[in-house]
Each structure stands twice: as structure tokens, then as C-alpha cells.
Structure 1
Amino acid sequence: MTTVDTLPSASSAQLALDSACDHLIGLRSPQGWWKGELQTNVTMDAEDLLLREFLGIRTEDDTAEAARWIRSEQRADGTWANFHGGPPDLSTTIEAYVALRLAGDPVEAPHLRVAAGFVQRSGGIEAARVFTRIWLAMFGQWPWRELPVLPPELMYLPAWFPLNVYDWACWARQTIVPLTVVSAHRPVRPLPFDLAELRTGQRARRPSRPGWEGVFSGLDRLLHHYERRPVRGPREAALRRAAEWIVARQELDGSWGGIQPPWVYSLIALNLSGYDIGHPVMRRGIQGLDRFTIRDDRGRRLEACQSPVWDTALAVNALLDAGVSAGHPAVSEAADWLLGEEIRGPGDWSVRRPSLPPGGWAFEFDNDGYPDVDDTAEVVLALRRTRRPDARPAIDRAVRWMTGMASRDGGFAAFDADNTRTLCTRLPFCDFGAVIDPPSADVTAHVVEALAHERPAGSPALRRGVVWLLKAQEADGSWFGRWGANHVYGTGAVVPALVAAGVRPEARCVRRAVTWLERHQNEDGGWGEDLRSYDDPAWIGRGESTPSQTAWALMALLAAGERSPAVDRGVGWLVEHQRPDGTWDEPHFTGTGFPGDFYINYHLYRLVFPISALGRYLRARADDAAASREEPS
């Protein structure tokens, strides 16, 4: 325990908390929800321009505004990265370069010349990821014959057969199905320029590998032979089935899954299948992109997806952590909105759980085909704290659905149960992004925490979830974070969940986590973990301090009963770095889409998590003070 003199002032922490709550409440919509910007990288904007070029709907205004944004994100070395402060990314740089060429930037322009130099030194177009080369192939800048084949006949495989579309994660299957249509048609709609300056002239060598990689490389060669003369009847039927599958999964807002990759590829696939621009499905899809478009003084940019349900649940929990009354309009109106967003129908998840009744919440405004376990757990945690009788039926349905979504090993994944077959990860085109959805520590922790409040301690799902988490603890005492960066996020989620489920704070697993967090606290008092930790273990627990990651660490330490200098210094960091308007700056990305490949800066994270941390800290101090007054002298 520290002395009173070394503690951050309770009044300063309270002032910081009050200011942050005021700012958060001021951000809510008239309908009661919150949605912060979901910032990713410029591939979203480059591919949007390429999509519009492919469909023949690209306008000068959209192009100029998007190009302005893309230029603003270029670094001094001429490259683009996948996250703030990250290393140069070859494929991202190539796609940004092509978009700027579409915007009319000349090859001789200094910013393009230096970008082309990086591309050349890094192996050129030949070394780009498969998805980038697919985009280039659609415009005649890469030969289709040198891309892996995705046959639409995959649609014939039953759900129990390996490599069927439901072996893929929901975001991957919604991308793979339209890509089978694109791969079968092999379209070429030439650009008004060539990209010779990005080619090295040397084909990237794909060394033969033993095991399944070698088997699939051989299968790909056979499929290339088949593509020269596919069996007409089965091929046409497979293409029709794929197009029908795509149309059936369009959301009300025109999107597919509410995320960019399947959205753009679905529009291209349907266009190749005969759906013209005026068709209602196409029209909804194109118009829906406007809702995901942000325009400001830096230009025009697209969100890869939107997170209103997630943000609203986090905001409600943060305000309640801060001591805001459950009857406050910001809380009660958000609860009303969340109750209206409950999903009561089936989705792709029911392929693996056909007898499970629906219930739960998705990430997006219109994402009814894909409720997810993580959002559902966070909404349950929020709604139960509002103590509204009218929320009880929805909570009960959600708990039943969450419990039924447990995988065989007792853990929980985001969108599907038992989506763990790794065979599809060995296919030749799987060089970017996660393609399966296995259980993760952070999602399992959120479910365990929700179930701990809703189910008795002896509940089999709760007990198995706790055992799964104990087995998943890393050798260093931390937990891996699948959907947030990274071990700080995983550990920040798991420790509060275990304590809520009845694991004692003095238990060895909790003590090891506390030691890891205290060992990785930065000199300035905060916590940070660079996204490179997904690829390089040397970065685990290391990085510049950020508000969200500092808050995650603090919430874990507070749940573990810590009243240590580490906690006080972390709170001091938050108080010291708060902006005058009550929020915090956080240019660093702390959210994860695909570990190692795709990252997210949730603009609300910098606010909601510090509010929760400060609120829990002040409540702990008040509890300690009350306990000390009750102790006999």
C-alpha cells in the first residue's frame, strides 16, 4: 500500500472523470446511441475508387476528395502503413499509389516517385499480397493465370465437408463466395494507364512446401487446367447458386456483413453476374456506402465498418462505472435503443447450431445476419445494470444464445461456434487476414463475466469458460488479445472476468497477471503495446502509453484488489494527459481486425475505457476509506 501523500488527488481524479463523462454524454445521438469513428488504413479508400472505376461510377469529386485523404496519410519515406507508426506496408502502398494515379497524379510527382522506389525495393507488384494482385488483375495489371483459383463449385460442398464455405469465418466466407464468381469470370477492365514503374520483371517464386501447403499448391495447378475448360452445366449452376447466396445476405443498409471486403466484392460479383447498376440490390449496395463515408477538411474516407452497438454498450457501462444513475436519460435512452436492436432471427451461426433459439446483438446498425458473442456479452453486462424489468426477457434470450454458442472446448469465438478447421488457412490465396474464428481469451472473458452475473457459479458453461481461460494463460502470465492490442487487452479482459466468476484475487493465475502488468508499466506511468507484438514477441507489452491500454491495465489491477503504486501512477497518467475538453488523444491503433494484418483505431476507446478505469478507481478508494472507518481502533 502507498501512503496518502503519494496517491493521486481524489479530487483531481473526480474532476477528470466528471469532465470525461460530460464529453461522452455530449457525443450521443438524438436516438440514444453512440458511434465513434472506426479508423483503419487507406486501402479502404483506394479500393473504393477502384470499385467505382470497375463499375463505371467514379466521379471527379469523389476521386479528388479521396485522393486528398490518401495523400495526407503518406509518410515522409513515401510509404503507407496499416497503423499509426507502423512499418511500411507494400500492398497498402501499391493500392494507394494506384488510387492516386486514378486521381491524375503524374508518375513524375515526387510523392509518387518515392513511393514507387519503395515498391521496387520491396519486390514490386510481384511481391504484393494475393488480394492486391486480384484487384490489379481486374484492371489488366496482373495476369489471372498467376493467381490462385477459387472455383464457384465450392458452393456444392455440404456443411460437413472440409473446405465448405461455413469452414470459413463469417467475414471470410462472405468474401470468398463473391471472389469465386470473380475468379470464374476473370474480368479485365483496363485502366487509362500502365503500372510498369511498379514491376520488377521477376516473378515472385512460390517455393513448394511439404504437407498440406504442397497438396493445395498441386490442387491449384489442377484447377488452373480445369479453368481453361470448366464443365459448363455445373459451372453455370454454381455461379447461380453463389449469386443467390450473395443476394440473400445483403443487409437492410445495402451492405454485406456491414464490412468493406465482402461489400465491394459482392457488388463486383453481382455486376459480373448480370446485375446492372440500376438493379435494386446494386443500387442499395452503392448508396449504402455513403453511410460509411466521412468527409472533413482532410478529404473523404470510408470506415471499414461501424460499431454503434459495441460503442453504446461500452458507453453505458462506462457511465455506470462512473457512478451515473441508471435512470439518467443518457443511460435509459441508450437502453431503449439497445433493446430495439436485439436480433431475433437466424443467421449463418445457426448452420452449426441449428436447434439454438436466436437472441443477442450485432456490431452494426444493420447486421442482422451476424449477431456476435462479444457484443452480446457487453450488452448483457450493460442492460442488467440498468435494472429495467423490460430488459429481462432480452437478457434471458441473450444468455441462452451465448451459452449455446460455446465451442466444444468450452471457449467462445466472436461469430461462430467450432469454426476451428485450419485446413482452409493452407490454401494458396490465404496470405492476408484471419480466415477462421476460433475461441479467444478476450471474447471468452467477456462471456464469463456476463455469465458470472447471470448464472450460478456451478453453471457448466461458466465453469468450462473459466477452465478454458486458465488453460489459455501465457507462460509469462498474460493473455493474448484477439480483438484488441494485444496482451494488455487480453489480460485486461480476463482478470476482471475471473474475479467476477469467483477466482480469488490471491490465486496464482491472478498474481501472475498482476506481476506481468506491473512489469510492463511504462516509466511515465501508462501502459502501451505496439501492434507489432502480433508478429514480433519482442514487442509484447511494449509501446507508447495510450489512454485505452492504460485503462485496460488499471481495470485488471483494480479487479485483482491492487492498491499499489502501479495503480496510482496509471491513474496519474490519465489525469495528466486528459485534454481540456475531457477526452484524450490516441493516434495509436489499439483495436484488431486481423492479427498481423489489419488494425483499427476505435475513436471512442480513448474515452469510454478511461472513464471505466477512473470510476472503478474512485469507487475502490471510497470502499477502502469506508472499510478503514469501520475497523476497530
Structure 2
Amino acid sequence: MSVRRAARAALGNLLARQFDDGRWEGEMAWNTMLLSQYLLTHRMLRVPLSASDITAARRHYEVTQLPDGAWPVHSEGPGSAYVTTLAYVALRALDVPPDDPLTGTARTWLGSQPGGVLALPAWGRMWLAMLGLYDYRGINSIPPELTILPGTFPLHPDQLYCHTRFVYLGLACLYGRRAVFGLEEQLIGELRQELFDGYGSIDFAAARTVLCGSDLVLRPHLVLRVLYGLLASYERAPLRWLRRRALAVCSAKLRAELSASRGHGISPVSALLAILVAAHEGRPHQEIVASLRALDAWRWLDDEEGLRIAGARSSAWDTAFVLRALLASKPSTSAAGAGRAYQWLCAAQQTDELAPDTAAGRDAVLGGWCFSDGSHRWAVSDCTAEALSSILMAHDCPEWAGELGDQLPAARVRQAVDFVLARQNPDGGFGTYERMRSPQWTNRLNPSEMYLDCMTERSHVECSASCVAALARFAARDSGHRHDAVAASIRRGVSFLRARQRPDGAYPASWGIHFTYSAFFVVEALSAAGVPSSDRAIAGLVRWLETRQKPDGSWGEHYESCLTGEYVEHPEGQAAMTAWAVLALIGGGGPQAAIDRGLRFLADLQQPDGSWPQQASSGVFFGSAVLDYRLYRQVFPAWALGEGTRLTSGPAAVGGQDDPVDVGRRVAGEEMHD
């Protein structure tokens, strides 16, 4: 199939995936942990599930279990004792017998692991403790008293990364109360026998320092281990008045978050904990049931893989990228779908501010876009930037004028710009939900054991690149709104990106795998900001991409790059990664031969219906949490093929502007190359 025909087929595949309301959304597949917690919460709170939900949940456990009986922490990883233990207990709570093929093999696998269930990470121990299956003395302290320290203290919860903040608040509240919801007495006894060797004789206090197994990604720092020892002494006789006050603060913050997020929480991870806190406090049962129903917004259900709980919903993020892919195609053939997507995206913007009684500790959200449809009201810098870029570029497409309807008002465009500007950090880079609040050394005191760099917000290459590109595109179209602030922000953002380039020309990433992912965003940003392709920031990256191209024309990077900090090649070429590299080469003036070979690989890998097959995961967070963004392998190859056809028939700048170099220099007011 020719590249041009492949591009047309890819466009048809994308348009066929559009939802009725105009959006696109692909699943973000992770592991069974959230499904297990969701099922266990229903059982703990005596809220029954339907028979169809139970059947669909079992289906998901069946299709995700590894041949050795374990469940992995992600689709390409080995078995995880933490994920497998939760899955086993959830299945048993669904009345699956211990000798069932699912549970029997899982229990055998767990028994073969160093340390067994006793050595689970703290998060897993907490869930077992709440079920009456683990003694709280075996868990390192999660002190709620941090909430009553001065608000500027670096380890105060309000200073932590927002996802970590609300997980901490929930766990600290439940730990501080030694909450036990429990299952039926007979089931608890059976599970204790099945999971442990001699449960009654275990010295759980001694097990507090036992850490081993595949789930241990980051061993606690020496300073943290010393603090744990001191806190263990305090936990034997905590100051009751102090703990009561701290627990009240934790509880109030959790209630405010559920209210602000319309019951969804920033994620189902923390929302489930907040609901358990509310139930333990004795809130009315009907209120608890309603809260659990609100969490159904995170459900994902289909016949192939059954029921699962998404860690995030990505509708605004995905829709913005699909709009860009449609712009790279022949616009007249996709105008109707693009118009519906444009209208949906405009409607997803945050058009009012959080209520004062729920906004404590939160940054402003007005003008921003969330990763999802916006209902949970956690707007993000790069989601806002990518939505803004796609909207501005759609305005420049005369073929779509009749389909777009009323354009997003200039006032709301400017609110989006203000939102982005507010996320810039002192180092010139951009955070995600908020600016940096605490110093990076707090990551040395990371207690998660499973994740890296999760303690504080920081500047990210991809977020910074998205923001720089959006601000440059805005300034090229509207020079009247905060011109000096926007120009200064672009200059500082470009300087941040320059500083993050490695000697070999590559850039690290935080949210994708890894160096290949960041290459696409960096070239877009630098080009939009007026940096010429001859500049070493782009030219060095282009040379790096050339050296990583496989003989078949593809690119493929293994998720281990995120853990090692060095490029690790995947054995197979990947559609999404090849598309990122091709787009970066097109935008960076890379060699036509390398671009053509990449496009040919994408065309050859394409399936008859215009789609691309399931391949390796392409997303990640906190270094070790690998995600499969299911739509990435459809949208980015379509985008790359669309740009490739434009390259042979007219102007093919990735940014879609007549002269991005001149525009960027006009915005920044200075020469931006070395």
C-alpha cells in the first residue's frame, strides 16, 4: 500500500473511532490493582455488585493472568506480588474458591516469592490490614500529624505532588484510626491460612522492615528508615489530642476533594480511600453508595477484556491530538468529524473557578483543560496547551470554517493562556497540575517503594514543550494579551529545554517511553518558538533519532529506558514510536530517506481496516508505572502519514504555520539560536 493510500485508510480508521458526542478516547491499560480495590471496597462496605459485573470482572482477571499464575504490574512486566495478592483476595471475596484455576495457580506463585505476602509494599499491607488480614504493627507509620505542620513545610501534604497528596491523606486517615472493615469471619480465617504460613505466630512488628521481591523499585533512604524507627516508637502511644486534630484535618481535605471533583476524585486510587474514610466515620450508607456510584465514571467495560477501572480518562488529550492528525490529512474529507471534535473540546474547558470551600490548597483551574472530559476539575498544563494548539490551528483551516460553528471566544483563549503561564516553574519549565511547591530533595524521602520521583511536582520536558508551542502559536495570532509575559515565558521555556538536552542529543521524558516520546514534543516546541533546524538543540536530536532507526525503517524503545535513564532498544519496531520519530524528523528538517523509510514501515504494518496492531506499551508515570495508551498506535501513525503526504504535495511544517521560524523570532523578540 502506498503512503498516500495508507494515510487515507488511517484517517478512516480514526473517524470510525469517534464517539457520538464528538470526542475520541482510548483506554489507558495498566493492571488489575484498581479493579481489585474497587471490588474489595464494594465488599467491605456491603454494597453488592451485579452478576454481570462479577462475570465481567472475572473475565478481566482471566485475560490478564500470566502463565505462571501471577498478575503483572503492567502488560509487559513480570508477576507482581502486590497486584497478585490483591487480585487473589478480590477473587476470593467474589466467592471464587481457593482451588479455582485462577486462584490456585496464583496462590502457588505467591508462595514461591521471597518474603511472600508478608513483604508486600506498604500500600499492599494497608489494604490487607483494612481487610483484617495484616497487623498494623507490620506497617511503617503513615502519620496524619503532617497535616498540622506549617503549610510551607516541604513535607506538608499541600506541598506534595497532588496525586501523592490525596493518596497520603487517605492512607494516613485510615492508618491513624487503624481502620478495619473486614470480611466475613469464616473468609478471613480461610484467607489468613491461604496467604500466610502460620498467621497467628507471625511477628508483624519485626516484618515492618522486611522489603524484598519484584515490587521493590526504590528502597527507602537511610534518613527515612531512621524516621520510621522513631515513628514506630511514637505509634505505640501517640498523643491522642494531636492525632484527633490531625485526623479531622485529613478527613476535611478528603471531603473537600470529593466535592470539588464531583465525587470522582483526582483518580480512583485516592477516591476509593476517601470513600473508605467516610464509611469508617459513620457517614450515612446511602451517601456511601452514591459515592461509589460516582466512581463508575472510571469504569471501562467491553466483551474482550471485561470490566476494569481506568487510572485516568484521556478524552481531551486524545481529542486534541486527533484534531492535529486530521489537520495533517486532507481537511475536506474530515471536516464534519473535526467540527464535532472541536465543539466538544471547546465545551470541555474549565469556564468557572472552584468554590472557595473546596479550593483550599488548589491552584486555579479557570481556562484549563483536564486530561479527561473536565468533570473532575483537575486541569493540566500540557492538556491545556495541546487543546489550545489544536483549537488555534483549526481556526487557520478555511476548509473547516463551516463545520466548526462558533469559534472559541478570544476571552476564553486568553484564559487558557493565563492558565498555562501560571504553571511555569522558576527553572523555566512547566509542571503538570501545579507549579513546584517543595524542593526536589523530598524525593529522597519517597516512602512508596514502588514508584520514582512521586513526592513533588517538577518541570517536565514534554509538558514544557507543549506549553512553549502553544504560547508561541497564540502569540503569533494575538499579540495584544500579556505580550511581554508570553514572550518571556517562551524564552525561559526554550532555555529550560536546551538545558535538558543530553550530550548525545536526546531529551528525557516523564510520561512516555521515553527519549523517542520527548523528541516529538521538543521539535514541535522549538520549531514553533522560532528555533531553526540548524540549531544544535534540533540538529543534535535529529542526529540522535537517525542513529536509533532500525534497518526496517522503524523505531522501538523498551520501557526499561525509563528505569535505567539510558536508551534501551525494543526488539520490535513500534508504530507509535516510529510515528513520533517521523514527525520529529519532518519538523526538524531530518533526512528525507529516513522519513521515507519510517513512513514505509508504518504503511507496511498497517492492517486492512486502516488500524495498527496491539504492540508494546508507550506510556509511563513515576518511572516504573508503564501504561498502554491504546489510541496512541492509531492517532500518531495517522498523523505521521498525513504529514508525509503533505511533504510530497506542499508545505509540510509540523506546526502547520507558513514560516514558524519567523513567527517564533517575532514572538520572542530575539534570535533564539546559538
Aligned residue in 1 for 2:310: 303
Moved over 6 A (4+): 348-354
Percent identity between matched residues is 28
Partner Cα distance (2:623, 2:308) in 1: 23
In structure 2, relative to structure 1, the CA distance for the partners of 1:380 and 1:79 (3 Å cut) is same
**Cα distance in 1 between the residues matched to 2:247 and 2:15:** 49
| Residue from 404, 419, 423 that aligns with 1:401 | 419
Alignment partners' CA distance in 1, 2:372 and 2:265: 11
- Residue 94 of structure 2 aligns with which residue? 103
Tell me what 2:54 maps to: 63
Instruction: Decide which of 212, 217, 221 is 2:225's aligned counterpart.
Output: 217
Q: Displacement, 1:344?
A: 3.5
What residue in structure 2 maps to residue 15 of structure 1? Answer: 5
Closer, same or farther: CA 615–94 of 1 in aligned 2, 3 Å: same
Higher mean C-alpha deviation, range 322-331 or range 345-354: 345-354
* One-letter amino acid matched to 1:181: C
Q: Deviations over 1:563-614 (max 9, x none)?
A: 4322111111111111222111124211123321x22222221111112111
Q: Is this contact kept in 1: 2:220–2:446, CA < 8 A?
A: no
Cα deviation per residue 1:512-569 (whole Å; 9 max; x = unaligned)? Answer: 2112212222233221212122223565343422221111111111111124322111
Partner of 1:46: 36
2:496 maps to a residue whose letter is W
Counterpart of 1:89 in structure 2 is: 80
- Higher alpha-carbon deviation: 568-577 or 317-326: 317-326
Of 576, 599, 614, which residue of structure 2 is paired with 1:548?
A: 576
Check whether the contact 1:253–1:284 (CA below 8 A) recurs between aligned residues. no
Counterpart position of 2:145: 153
SS, match of residue 332 in structure 1:
helix
Matches within 5 A, 1:409-420: 409-420=427-438
Residues 39/384 of structure 1: CA separation in 2 closer, same or farther (3 Å cut): same
The question of whether the paired residues in 2 share the 8 Å contact of 1:129 and 1:431 is answered with yes
Select between 574-583 and 423-432 the one with higher mean Cα deviation. 423-432
- CA offsets per residue over residues 412-460 of structure 1, 9 Å max, x none? 1111112452354344732133232211111111111112212369811
Is this contact kept in 1: 2:515–2:567, CA < 8 A?
no
1:619, distance to aligned residue in structure 2 (A): 1.3
The structural deviation recorded for 1:379 is 0.5
DSSP 3-state at the match of 1:579: coil
Report what 2:158 is aligned to.
Answer: 166
Q: How does 1:612-631 map to 2 (within 5 A)?
A: 612-623=639-650
Question: Quick one: which of 129, 132, 136 aligns to 2:128?
Answer: 136
* 1:256 equivalenced with 2:247 (yes/no): no
Which of the residues 600, 603, 609 maps onto 1:575?
603
Question: How far apart, in 2, do the equivalents of 1:495 and 1:352 lie?
Answer: 35
Change (3 A) 1:520 1:25: same
- Asked if 1:447 is matched to 2:467, the reply is yes
CA contact (8 A) 1:491 1:556 kept: yes
* CA displacement at 1:157 relative to structure 2: 2.7
* CA deviation map 1:225-271 (0-9, x unaligned): 433443333333332222222122225552101x2211111111111
Deviation at 1:297, TM superposition (A): 4.3
Q: Give, in angstroms, the shift of residue 386 of structure 1.
A: 2.0
Instruction: State the alpha-carbon separation in 2 of the partners of residues 527 and 503 from structure 1.
Output: 25
Give the Cα separation in 1 of the matches to 2:615 and 2:305. 16
In structure 1, which of residues 436, 439, 445 is the aligned counterpart of residue 456 of structure 2?
436
Does the 8 A contact of 1:485 with 1:531 survive in 2? yes
1:49-71 deviations in whole A, cap 9, x for unaligned? 12112212243723343122112
- Uncovered stretches (5+) of structure 2, i.e. residues with no partner: 212-218, 396-405, 477-482, 654-674
State the match for 1:630 in structure 2: none
| Paired residues of 1:448 and 1:501 also in contact (CA < 8 A) | yes
Structure 2 CA distance for aligned equivalents of residues 333 and 60 of structure 1: 35
Q: Which moved more, 1:549-558 or 1:452-461?
A: 452-461
Deviates more, 1:227-236 or 1:550-559: 227-236
Give the whole-Å Cα distance in 2 for the aligned partners of 1:80 and 1:132.
14
Q: Deviations over 1:609-632 (max 9, x none)?
A: 112111111112223799xxxxxx
Q: 2:276 aligns with which of 244, 247, 268?
A: 268
Show the counterpart of 1:604. 631
Q: Could you say what secondary structure the match of 1:31 adopts?
A: coil
- State the partner residue of 2:394: 386
Match of 2:521 in 1: 493
Q: Which residue of 1 aligns with 2:400?
A: none
Does structure 1 conserve the Cα–Cα contact (< 8 Å) formed by 2:299 and 2:310?
Answer: yes
CA gap of 1:580–1:428, structure 2 versus 1, over 3 A, is closer
Gapped regions of structure 1 (runs ≥ 5): 1-8, 627-633
Q: CA offset at residue 183 of structure 1?
A: 0.7
- Give me the whole-angstrom Cα distance separating, in 2, the residues matched to 1:411 and 1:554: 25
The equivalent of 1:120 in structure 2 is 111
* Contact 2:381–2:463 (CA under 8 A) maintained in structure 1: yes
Q: Report whether the alignment pairs 1:425 with 2:453.
A: no
The answer (yes or no) to whether the contact 2:298–2:311 under 8 Å persists in 1 is no
Structure 1 residue 184, shift from structure 2 partner: 1.1
Q: Give the Cα–Cα distance (whole angstroms) in 2 for the partners of residues 145 and 579 of structure 1.
A: 55
| 2:252 corresponds to 1:244 | yes
Q: 5 Å matches for 1:25-36?
A: 25-36=15-26
Bigger drift between 161-170 and 536-545 goes to 536-545
Shift of 1:494: 0.7
Of stretches 371-380 and 452-461 in structure 1, the one that deviates more from structure 2 is 452-461
Q: Secondary structure at the match of 1:535?
A: helix
Q: Deviations over 1:282-325 (max 9, x none)?
A: 51343432652314244322222211111111111111121325
Matched, 1:177 2:169: yes
Structure 1 residues 20 and 606 mapped into 2: Cα distance closer, same or farther (>3 Å)? same
Query: 1:541 & 1:435 partners in 2: Cα distance?
Result: 29
Partner of 2:191: 194
Q: In 2 relative to 1, CA 238–317 (structure 1 residues): closer, same or farther, beyond 3 Å?
A: same
Mapped partners of 2:362, 2:304: distance in 1 = 47
CA distance in 2, matches of 1:277, 1:593: 35
Q: TM-score normalised to the size of structure 2?
A: 0.84
Partner Cα distance (2:289, 2:644) in 1: 51
Render the CA deviation track for 1:117-138: whole Å, top value 9, x for unaligned. Answer: 4333332113321111111111
1:393 is displaced (CA, Å) by 2.2
Task: State the distance in 1 between where 2:326 and 2:108 align.
Answer: 50
Cα 1:287–1:256, aligned 2, differ >3 Å: closer, same or farther? closer
RMSD: 2.9
What is aligned with 1:503? 531
Match of 1:203 among 204, 207, 211: 207
Which shifted more, 93-102 or 129-138? 93-102
Letter of the 1:31 partner, please give it.
Answer: D
**Alpha-carbon distance in structure 2 between the residues aligned to 1:75 and 1:617:** 40
The one-character-per-residue Cα deviations of 1:201-245 (angstroms, maximum 9, x if unpaired) are 7937459xxx99444333333333433443333333332222222
* Length-normalised TM-score, structure 1: 0.89
